[in-house]
Amino acid sequence: MKTVPELIAQHFNVAPAIIDDSLKIADLHPDEIDCAEVVMQLEDEYGIDLLGDAVTDVWLTGTVGDLVRLVKERAPGMAWMGVL
C-alpha cells in the first residue's frame, strides 16, 4: 500500500522527495481530471469516500499535509499501519 505522498508523486511523475506536507497541491498545476483521478486512487487504495467540499477545498488551496490529514480522518485505522 502506498502513502498519500507516494500516490501524488506517482500521479504527477515527480520525485517523491519533493512531496512533503508543506507542498501546496496547486504548485503541481493540477486540473480537474487530476483531482478526480487522485481522489479515485485514494478511495481505491484506502477504501474510503472522499467526495465533497472538503476534498475540493484541500485540492484548490491546501497542502499535501492537509490531504494526508483528510485521508487520516476518513481512514483512521491506516495511520497505525504506517501507510499514511
For residue range 38-81, list pLDDT tens digits in order.
989 999 988 888 877 788 888 889 999 999 898 888 887 765 55
Q: What is d(CA 77, CA 84) in angstroms, rounded to the nearest whole number?
A: 10
d(CA 4, CA 1): 10
Quote the pTM value. 0.83
Given a cut of 90, is residue 27 above it in pLDDT?
yes
Residue 83: Cβ-neighbour burial (10 angstroms; 0-12, 13-18, 19+)? middle
Report the candidate in 68, 71, 59 with the shortest Cα–Cα distance to residue 24. 59
The domain 4-79 is classified under which CATH number: 3.30.300.10, 1.10.1200.10, 3.40.50.11810, 1.10.150.120?
A: 1.10.1200.10
What is the pLDDT, as a whole number, of residue 83?
Answer: 54
pLDDT range class, residue 29, cuts 50, 70, 90? very high
Q: What is the three-class DSSP state of 24?
A: strand
The C-alpha cell of 73 is what? Answer: 480522518
pLDDT of residue 32: 85
